Structure 1
Amino acid sequence: MKLCRILLSLLFASFLLAGCGGQGDDSRSGQEEDAHKAMSVDKKAAASSRAAAADKKAYVEPPKLDIPFHKEKLDNGLTVIVHEDRKAPVVAINIWYKVGSKDEESGKTGFAHLFEHLMFNGSENYPGEYFEPFQRSGATDMNGTTNNDRTNYFETVPTGALDMALWMESDRMGHFSGAITQEVLDEQRGVVKNEKRQGENAPYGKAFDTIASSTFPPFHPYSWTPIGSMEDLDNASVEDVKQWFADYYQPANAILVIAGDITVEEAMAKAREYFGDIPSSSAPSQLKNWELPDQVNKREEMFDQVPQTRIYKVWNVPAIGSEEEDALDLIASMLANRQNSLLYRRLVRDEQLATNVSAFYYGRQLAGQLMVIVDVKPGQPLEKVEKLLDEELRQFAKDGVTVEELRRIKQSEFASLVKGLEKIGGFGGKSDILARSEFYYGDPGALIDGLQDYARITALQVQEVASRWLTENSYTLVIRPREDFSAAAEGVDRSELPAVDKSVELELPAQHEFTLDNGLRVVLAERHDTPVIFMNLQFHSGAAADGDKPGLASVAARMLSEGAGELDGLQFSAREEELGASIGAGSGLDYNSITFSALKTQLEPSLDLFAQVITQPLFQQEDLARVKSNRLDAIAQEEAQPQGLALRSLPPLLFGKGHPYGAPLTGSGTVEGIEAITRDDLVNFHDKWVRPDNATLTVVGDVTQEELEPLLNSALADWEKPEEELARIPVPDVERPQEARVYLLDRPDAEQTYIMAGLVMPPWSREDAEAFDAMATIIAGKFTSRVNMNLREDKHWSYGARAVSLDTEGQRPYILFAPVQTDKTAPSIRELLKEYRDYLGDKPAREKELADYRDDEVLKQSARFQTKSQLLSSIAWQVEKGLSLEYVAEYPQRVAALTVGDVEASAEKYLAPQQFTWVIVGDLDEIQEDIEALDIGPVEVLSQ
């Protein structure tokens, strides 16, 4: 989807200057007035003469270019254009289909681009990879592109491969519908979605989507970009795609250019031979024009992972083919792109406020846009850059340009054009110019013939077009680095952001702790910005309390939403909606929790509902049967997925089957455990663990202790501490294995191998918590970690490799995972081990790696407590670990103080790759022998 104006380079620009005269004094006598009028006429004549001379001086003789062509329409409507160029034994083929994203409709965006991808999946008579025969035949300049207006496909082949190329192109034009299958559609849809993700993930990747939707009204064909939306791509069906092919991919809607080492007679004979039997239905109607949208006067700002702030200024201007097209192209070339252009010279060279300035005229069939893009130099104030940019644009629109500069621009662009015409194919080659000219102007020679008009453009014409379109009413988009949000909130200069971040101090609301009449501990943080209250009742239990029925704790949590008191599940849900309240439950390894949120105006009745869940859950038998059935289905789905299977298999291998942490890490339990759960088990679990002396209630919201304490005492008056002593959950320590162990799970014909490795870590410790996190992140904790950069970025064997350390009361499971292509299973294991060994050996953490971690981690804290739910989660963790508010608030300072020595010590203390327990899921016929050959430890195949 690359817009390429062939006549002009779009990437170079400059400004022209012109003057204007003044007016006389009205207090003259009549004689003086007559004399003045006579002089005025003379001055006007002289000015006109000077203008004519200036216009003549502005003329630059265009290069003498000629692309002779033959144009003919076949009986089926296919337009064929042939150009003979014998200088090399190659032939270029370029096919333009008159369909682009502008021909889509709302709800079905992205079809044109998706279909471009589908066309490279082979055809009915050549299934498989379309590129394959070309790659064996010396093809060059082979690709396809889609823009708002059209889709094209092109390749340059040796003359001896021309028949093959024409056969392939004609086969997918006339014999493609049968090759469109659900499998092919799903595959290419996935590729396009990854392309969209990749584009949006790139710096400034969302800019043009935003510009399109902001500068064109809804339902305008240019209000979306060719990539389309994820939702529309997901909704595309095989029938939709086949209809798209039938409507648009027919000879009557296409232009075929054959250029190179071939005569017109030979080319036309081959065109008839290969394309002449392809039928056309009536050609689809074409959008020829659309009223130019009003100029948008709007400013938007975005934050993205970008290295510096970027400014986009956009004006809606006339389309390709307008009388102003050449002047608009010249304006773009004069404004930017060259070191001597107006904006580059002023902003980049003289003032040093920007690192780059570019501009281009985005001409299309229905409308055009003039864009100026400025990359603000880090540390420079945005306001100053924008002010100077606007001043320069106003001055240019008012004063115009110099003749000398106009001549330089024309000459430069002519030179670029001539150089591009050395090629017969590819972007900017002769076949491309012929196709583009036919498509946009209905004449293959239009662009070359138009060089004289371009050469005659005057400085006055440029200035008039600039003054007409470079108005103050424009669309501005500013994309800032995400770090700028925090910096702006603190009023600091953006260039100092890293330093400010390293010394950031968290201002957290004070916490009030009190105990209810029933002994329940309450921790309250007031935040009165919105009238809502969030609560989290957390109590020891979790999967560690499952006993011999893995899944009991999570089923008990799930059943709390199935009714309480006198309300069944549906009635309970209706009451929640009536009050605007939300009550839920969750389960982890060491804790279960009940969460609550309510409007302040409905706090008292909402607390009554909350209390019913705590003290009177229904646990109805019919609801339990349904929940258990659904859970068993979920387990089956987990076992069908390599990741789910690995997460279920690893814990008992690390801790032992009878260990509290030996249950599946998915939290769903086991089939045997779920099947064995009874209503009595739920009642007993609830009575045993949901008690005020085993829980802490954390609260964040628009409420004071004076308001909240009596309400809680009233609502929870019936929830009392039982007479029985609170049970404890023993979590015994386990020893790491003396050597690595490898467990294999067979998935015949698996397309990938899922590699997982586990290591038992000591419990969380406040003394070296920050060093541990830094150490774990650098080796495998984020995208730029060593293992991910190795397997994904360097080797391209995996979509992503990571490691996580679960936060538990006892020993923590550390889990490394990497899905990799099957044939790289053993090499990937070798690379993973190499990274860990190097980390512990002669390649420990580097200062830059730690500095990047420190800056990133500290910066995150600025947004860590934005919402009440975020603050509530942090306080719940703080309470769980027995920490003070000050400990949380001082976290940035502790991270900023980390040294490489701290990280090295943590690695030596915690990491032991030679003691990994590996669980590897894949096609054992393909991978087992190579894994065994690694000799990293005993290998065992697990039954399923």
Structure 2
Amino acid sequence: MRRFQLSAALPLVLACLAISSTPAVARETPAITQPGETPTQTAAAAPLSELVDQVNIPYERFTLANGLTTLVHTDRKAPVVGVTIYYRVGSKNEPEGKTGFAHLFEHLMFGGSENVPNFDIPLEAAGSTSTNGSTWYDRTNYVETVPTGAVDLALFMESDRMGHLLGAVSQDKLDKQRGVVQNEKRQGDNQPYGLAEYAIGDGLLPVGHPYRHSTIGSMADLDAASLSDVRNWFINHYGPNNVVVALAGDIDAATAKAKVQKWFGDIPRGPEVAKISAEPVTLAAPVSREMTDQVPVTRIYRAWTGPALTSADSVPLSVGMYVLGGLASSRLDNALVRDEQLAVSVSASAQQHEQLGFLQVQMDVKPGVDRAKAEQRLDQLITQFVQQGPNADELSRAATEIVSQQIGALELVGGFSGKGATLAEGLLYADDPDLYKKQLQQMASLTPAEVKAAMQRWLSRPVYSLAIVPGERTEDGATMGGWSDDGTAPAAKPAKPDKTVATAQAVKAEKRTPPALGDTPALTFPAIERTTLSNGIEVALARRTAIPKVSIALEFDAGYAADGQASAGTQSMMMDMLMEGTTTRSAIQIAEEQERLGASLSTGASLDNSTVMLTALTSNLAPSLELMADVTRNPAFAASEVDRVKGQRLADIAQAEASPFGLAQRAMGPILYGDHHPYGTVGALGTTAVVEALSPAILEQAHAKWLRPDLARITVVGDVTMAELKPQLEKVFGQWAVPASAKPVKDLTGAIPSAQQRIIMIDRPNSPQSVLYFGRVLPITGHDKGLEALDLANEVIGNGFLSRLNSDLREDKGWTYGISSAITDSMGPRAFKVATPVQADRTGDSIKLILADMAAFPAKDPVNEVELQRVTEGNIRGLPNRFQTNGQVLGAIIENTEFGRPDDYYTKLPAIYEAIDGAAIDTAASTYLQPGKMVIVVVGDRKVVEPQLKDLGIPVQYVEGGAQ
């Protein structure tokens, strides 16, 4: 990936995220149903065939004379267009000595062209979102979603780097992006279990197989990449005849064809990307490997190669693996996690690519359980499922859930998973943009016998087994991920560069000028209807009919701030237990019922709120709401299940404390807010001591105290009217009586420790990177208004790819894969935070640079005109992009309600931004974003980092394993 999508770690550090409910668990009462057995309270669900009929992405297709193929899908729900470009080149095309090349070149493609010094600045200033790229085995893609008036600009940018790139590729750019990619590799390697992917590729495939080496490649090959190498890579692979362009959104085929011809038509064809032989491999005999790593829990893998994406077995295998370990009520979950309690988590999946797939089962062994016993039982269950196959009910539930997810994906026109990408991948891999629909139709008609036969063909072959066990890490990720283990395999010969194309590319073409932006329609935010249930619960509804689904949030004014440090983890544990059985439904019945309905029900606790979330098909809304209400109001808190979920929670805490990001996040709250403020906790997971002491009685008390109608509000977005919605809500929630006791109140005004700049160094040996986490409490709360200038100042300094910190630390220095800043969305005292992983030998230099960049804004370096235009006009133009999905609208309504904003806040936001000038942004930066009193948590290898901290002039405190 090109951008700093930090394996879900940095967002966890920067935001107080809800903890989703853990996998459901069977109760003592009522009786547990067996797989496929129908519970007594079965809800009627819409037929699967009807759901499949609702998944449709109509398109038109045309091809230019130079071979570039374009797919166009018209969707007028918002004035935006998803621009998606797929190149038929990925890591499987890399010969020996060139691993990581496709991904490295993806990064270079963002470094500017002969006519555009920087692609991001004009695109983001034009309102583009999801401006990004990614590389995998079979392809490289580039995506942006732009306002309709910026389509020409986006196509100009994409055509300029396709046809006018080489004159701008320099040794300096290569060196900088090489550093960024190597830090991306270090970041992944630094995670617990971060070396498993390398081991699985090595174990399943022979040396020289195109899918064996990792897409990130080896450090040695990245170091060896020359300017000549990357130029030839571009010439051999990036011609228009190897490209699929997908335009989805507010555009039609006639308009698209004229624009694509204008911007891409004069780019000459390139060499055809050669076909590669990359068949699935059957091991001659089972293979086992054990690795030690700094992990708290033993993780077991079982892996096989599978067939190509277009194989007739592809869909049956996907569904079969989903039944085995993907469903909340999967075979492996029910047996290993719920019933026998040999594991704390388990999963099974089919990762499918153009020419082969990877079939994988994964199990985290429960601490204290004999590993051999757990592995033996895992293997028995896999063998049993392969022999028996799924039953009809399991198959129906799995297919319904997958189709429901696909319907949800139809909301996005662009990005990595939107409608444009769905069409493009079908054309690229199968020469059929409708591949998705044919696969769903096959899924809807599958029989258990077909799934069983596919599973037997592929999972009865010899298996590759991998175990990652706790201990000292003995292997080095820097040496892994390459072409071979011993380097003795003969080098594959890359295709010779086309001399004609090389000459044409080396000569700068006539200067091209970026097109002017067209008009951007004003944002249309859906109207909000409000009502109140008979017991006082407030309801807000935004009707949207783009897809036949409804999203509902039932929020309670609680969150893990309701715990305080003394009870840290109680609130989120209580919320997790809601999914673990009610007085009339077992956990398995809850899981199976939502699967039959195509619904998604989850629970969790953020800092300020405890929430039950439901996403339901409109046709199944009534029974889905009944399930939601039962889970919310009638939890069983069975003693045996509390004990089991406690075991899972303790394992989660151990996993967090094994992660560098987790260590930093858990340390920061108590440091900033102190032990006595509600925000001074380690986070939603809580502490080991508190979780170990939790009992059914404690959880029941927390439920009775905090989940009550007078602390609740309901927000709904989707395909339903208020006339249809309110009676259904009234039926399941309106008669919920308000307790006689006074409602509890969190005191968010408590004293906070005085801020002082210091470094807290947490030793994590053998870390190739250090995690830096800066924090400072601000003198503002979520109730304060008029802080839009502060939000924009934060964008200038650290929130976004073009921010100063990211431009300096990543793009210029190459010391990190990404850095980001955030102002927490808390109702009480808000905090300013900055987080980044940096290569270990640059820890001290990175701290100096970050502090200097923050101090310079605005004293030495006030906001400039380019930055001002980007964060004001760019944000205004990009507003329609932010509300494509029901979930995005739901989040905006909730935020407006929490912060006391009017319902039309987002329609007024353009005028607010237009009134903000550079002086206002500079004032906000000087008032709130200065580094003088920030605490800096460093998680890394002390023996490497300590010498770098000595000359910083900042007090340093050294701690072990996250202790404060």
TM-score by length of 1: 0.52
Structure 1 residues 672 and 303: CA distance shift in structure 2, 3 A: same
Amino acid at match of 1:527: R
Q: What is the CA deviation profile of residues 812-846 of structure 1, one whole-angstrom value per residue up to 9, with x for unaligned ones?
A: 12211121122211111111111011114121211
Structure 1 residues 576 and 842: CA distance shift in structure 2, 3 A: same
Among 677, 690, 695, the alignment partner of 1:678 is 695
Among 777, 794, 800, the alignment partner of 1:782 is 800
Aligned-residue CA RMSD in angstroms?
Answer: 4.6
Q: What is the CA deviation profile of residues 165-205 of structure 1, one whole-angstrom value per residue up to 9, with x for unaligned ones?
A: xxxxxxxxxxxxxxxxxxxxxxxxxx986997798899649
Matched, 1:117 2:117: no
Matches within 5 A, 1:242-261: 242=207, 244=209
Among 715, 734, 745, the alignment partner of 1:698 is 715
Superposition deviation, residue 246 in structure 1: 15
Q: Is the 8 A contact 2:554 2:715 kept in 1?
A: yes
SS at structure 2 position matched to 1:116: coil
Structure 1 residues 496 and 549: CA distance shift in structure 2, 3 A: same
The whole-number CA distance in structure 1 between the counterparts of 2:609 and 2:951 is: 43
Structure 1 residues 700 and 758: CA distance shift in structure 2, 3 A: same
Amino acid at match of 2:702: F
Structure 1 residues 206 and 571: CA distance shift in structure 2, 3 A: farther
Amino acid at match of 1:641: S
Paired residue for 2:517?
Answer: 496
The whole-number CA distance in structure 2 between the counterparts of 1:861 and 1:905 is: 25
Q: Is the 8 A contact 2:674 2:753 kept in 1?
A: no
Structure 1 residues 616 and 739: CA distance shift in structure 2, 3 A: closer
Matched, 1:904 2:922: yes
Paired residue for 2:534?
Answer: 517
Among 768, 773, 776, the alignment partner of 1:751 is 768
Q: Is the 8 A contact 2:857 2:926 kept in 1?
A: no
The whole-number CA distance in structure 1 between the counterparts of 2:854 and 2:243 is: 55
The whole-number CA distance in structure 1 between the counterparts of 2:93 and 2:274 is: 16
Matches within 5 A, 1:478-493: none
The whole-number CA distance in structure 2 between the counterparts of 1:550 and 1:705 is: 39
The whole-number CA distance in structure 1 between the counterparts of 2:138 and 2:725 is: 52
Matched, 1:583 2:601: yes
Superposition deviation, residue 355 in structure 1: 9.8
The whole-number CA distance in structure 2 between the counterparts of 1:694 and 1:364 is: 61
Matched, 1:616 2:634: yes
The whole-number CA distance in structure 1 between the counterparts of 2:263 and 2:545 is: 42
Matches within 5 A, 1:54-73: none
The whole-number CA distance in structure 2 between the counterparts of 1:246 and 1:793 is: 30
Matched, 1:236 2:253: no
Structure 1 residues 297 and 826: CA distance shift in structure 2, 3 A: closer
Paired residue for 1:360?
Answer: 269
Superposition deviation, residue 302 in structure 1: 6.6
Q: What is the CA deviation profile of residues 857-906 of structure 1, one whole-angstrom value per residue up to 9, with x for unaligned ones?
A: 22331122222222122111112122211223211221232210110111
Q: Is the 8 A contact 1:531 1:600 kept in 2?
A: yes
Paired residue for 1:545?
Answer: 562
The whole-number CA distance in structure 1 between the counterparts of 2:524 and 2:884 is: 11
Q: Is the 8 A contact 1:692 1:721 kept in 2?
A: yes
Q: Is the 8 A contact 1:110 1:232 kept in 2?
A: no
SS at structure 1 position matched to 2:932: helix
TM-score by length of 2: 0.51
SS at structure 1 position matched to 2:94: helix
Q: Is the 8 A contact 2:558 2:610 kept in 1?
A: yes
Paired residue for 2:577?
Answer: 559
Q: Is the 8 A contact 1:694 1:726 kept in 2?
A: yes
User: What percentage of residue pairs aligned between the two structures are identical?
Assistant: 29
The whole-number CA distance in structure 2 between the counterparts of 1:819 and 1:206 is: 33
Structure 1 residues 753 and 679: CA distance shift in structure 2, 3 A: same
The whole-number CA distance in structure 1 between the counterparts of 2:591 and 2:625 is: 15
Superposition deviation, residue 660 in structure 1: 1.0
Q: Is the 8 A contact 2:783 2:899 kept in 1?
A: no
Q: What is the CA deviation profile of residues 554-582 of structure 1, one whole-angstrom value per residue up to 9, with x for unaligned ones?
A: 11121111122411011112222333333
SS at structure 2 position matched to 1:518: coil
The whole-number CA distance in structure 2 between the counterparts of 1:354 and 1:938 is: 56
Amino acid at match of 2:813: K
Matches within 5 A, 1:124-273: 204=158, 236-238=201-203, 240-242=205-207, 244=209
Amino acid at match of 1:814: F
Of 732-741 and 576-585, deviating more is 732-741
Among 581, 584, 589, the alignment partner of 1:571 is 589
The whole-number CA distance in structure 2 between the counterparts of 1:940 and 1:436 is: 50
Matched, 1:655 2:673: yes
SS at structure 1 position matched to 2:517: helix
Matched, 1:883 2:904: no
Superposition deviation, residue 542 in structure 1: 0.5
Amino acid at match of 1:357: D
Q: Is the 8 A contact 2:790 2:924 kept in 1?
A: yes
Amino acid at match of 1:791: L
The whole-number CA distance in structure 1 between the counterparts of 2:724 and 2:549 is: 13
The whole-number CA distance in structure 1 between the counterparts of 2:721 and 2:557 is: 27
The whole-number CA distance in structure 2 between the counterparts of 1:904 and 1:897 is: 14
The whole-number CA distance in structure 2 between the counterparts of 1:521 and 1:119 is: 54
The whole-number CA distance in structure 2 between the counterparts of 1:196 and 1:592 is: 41
Matches within 5 A, 1:382-421: none
The whole-number CA distance in structure 1 between the counterparts of 2:595 and 2:748 is: 40
Structure 1 residues 749 and 299: CA distance shift in structure 2, 3 A: closer
SS at structure 1 position matched to 2:679: coil
Q: Is the 8 A contact 2:91 2:135 kept in 1?
A: no
Paired residues, number: 547
Of 898-907 and 747-756, deviating more is 747-756
Pair member with larger Rg: 1
Q: What is the CA deviation profile of residues 89-145 of structure 1, one whole-angstrom value per residue up to 9, with x for unaligned ones?
A: xxxxxxxxxxxxxxxxxx99844516333699xxxxxxxxxxxxxxxxxxxxxx9x9
Matches within 5 A, 1:256-335: 300-301=246-247
Matched, 1:929 2:952: no
Superposition deviation, residue 237 in structure 1: 2.6
The whole-number CA distance in structure 1 between the counterparts of 2:726 and 2:918 is: 48
Among 710, 726, 749, the alignment partner of 1:709 is 726
SS at structure 1 position matched to 2:754: coil
Q: What is the CA deviation profile of residues 903-943 of structure 1, one whole-angstrom value per residue up to 9, with x for unaligned ones?
A: 01111221231101111112222222331321123544456
Gaps in structure 2 of 5+ consecutive residues? 1-65, 67-87, 106-133, 145-153, 163-187, 189-195, 213-240, 277-490, 501-512
The whole-number CA distance in structure 2 between the counterparts of 1:715 and 1:833 is: 53
Structure 1 residues 194 and 734: CA distance shift in structure 2, 3 A: farther
Gaps in structure 1 of 5+ consecutive residues? 1-12, 14-106, 121-142, 147-190, 209-229, 248-294, 315-346, 348-352, 368-434, 442-446, 451-480, 484-493
Q: What is the CA deviation profile of residues 372-426 of structure 1, one whole-angstrom value per residue up to 9, with x for unaligned ones?
A: xxxxxxxxxxxxxxxxxxxxxxxxxxxxxxxxxxxxxxxxxxxxxxxxxxxxxxx
The whole-number CA distance in structure 1 between the counterparts of 2:960 and 2:526 is: 52
Paired residue for 1:815?
Answer: 833
Structure 1 residues 649 and 710: CA distance shift in structure 2, 3 A: same
Amino acid at match of 1:923: D
Q: Is the 8 A contact 1:539 1:690 kept in 2?
A: yes
Q: Is the 8 A contact 2:95 2:493 kept in 1?
A: no
Q: Is the 8 A contact 1:655 1:661 kept in 2?
A: yes
Of 919-928 and 588-597, deviating more is 919-928
Amino acid at match of 2:201: A
The whole-number CA distance in structure 2 between the counterparts of 1:822 and 1:440 is: 39
Matched, 1:724 2:745: no
Q: Is the 8 A contact 2:91 2:100 kept in 1?
A: no
